[in-house]
Amino acid sequence: MSARPPQAALVSLQGHYAGSVSRLAAYSIDLVVSTAVFVLGLAAISWGVRIVTGHDVSWNRSNIVVAVIFVIWQFVYFGYCWAVSGRTPGMALLGIRVVRADGRVLPPKQGVLRSLVFPLSFLLFGLGFLGILVQHEHRALHDLIAGSAVVYSWDARAARLRFLARQAELPEADIPSPVGVRTDTSS
C-alpha cells in the first residue's frame, strides 16, 4: 500500500478540533457496526426462540417493536461508548475522541447526555451538523447542548515515523513516487 505520508504539519494536530470528514467517516463506521451487531443480536434471539419453542420468529423492518428496540440500541451503543471511553469503535478507528468543551476528559454523565441529544442534530434536515463546518470550534448542535467537542487523538508523529521506517527499509527503486505525492521528508 502506497499511502500518502503523514506530513510534518499533521504531526502537531493531536488535540486539535476534528474535521467534518473524519467525524462523518467515524459515524458511518459506527452506524454499520451498530446495525450489524443489532442484526446479529436479532438473529441470535430468533435462533434461541426456535431452539426453545420450535417456532420461527421473523423480524419485520416495519415492525414498531423492532424500530423502538433499534433506537434504544443506538442510544445504548453511543451512550455507553462515550460515557466509558469518550470514543466509539468508529471514532477509535479514525483516531478521534469526544472531550469536554474545555478539552478535559468527558464525564460519563455528559457522555450519556450527548447520546440523548444527538438526534436533535438530525432535525431540520441535519442543520444541527452544520456547526461542524461553520462553528469556530467545529461543534455540532448536540456538542453545544452537551458541552462537548471532538478532537484528534491519534499519534500522527508515531505514524510518520512508521512511514519513514517503512520507506527506509525499502530499496530506492521500489519506492513509488506518484504524481502529487511528496516523497521528500524534509518538511
User: In whole angstroms, what is the distance from residue 130 CA to residue 68 CA?
Assistant: 27
Q: In the block, which residue shows the cell 515515523?
A: 161
**Calpha distance 119→141 (Å, rounded):** 10
C-alpha cell at 120: 436533535
Which residues ranging from 64 to 103 are in contact with other proteins (CB under 8 A)?
Answer: 93-95, 99-103
Helix, coil or strand: residue 137: coil
Instruction: Choose between 56 and 184: whose C-beta lies nearer to other proteins.
Output: 184
The one-letter code for the residue type at 130 is L
Chosen residue from 161, 175, 177, 183 binding other proteins by CB under 8 A: 161
Decide whether 70 or 163 has the Cβ nearer to other proteins: 163
Interacting stretch for other proteins, rule CB under 8 A, among 36-44, 117-125, 144-152, 173-181?
144-152
The reply on whether position 51 binds other proteins by CB under 8 A is: no
Residue of 56, 62, 104, 174 interacting with other proteins (CB under 8 A): 104
Continuous H helices in the chain:
8-11, 20-53, 64-84, 89-94, 108-117, 123-126, 130-134, 141-146, 156-169
From candidates 109, 166, 177, 181, binder to other proteins by CB under 8 A:
166
CB neighbour class for 146 (10 Å; exposed up to 12, middle 13-18, buried from 19): buried
Q: By the 8 A CB rule, do 120 and 158 touch?
A: no
At 98 the three-state DSSP class reads: strand
- Of the two residues 64 and 179, which places its CB atom closer to other proteins in the complex? 179
Closer CB to other proteins, residue 17 or residue 82? 17
Whichever of 18 and 144 has its CB closer to other proteins, that residue is 18
For position 129 contacting other proteins by CB under 8 A, the verdict is: no
Interface positions with other proteins (CB under 8 A)? 1, 3-6, 8, 10, 12-22, 25, 93-95, 99-104, 133-134, 136-137, 149, 151-152, 154, 156-169, 185-186
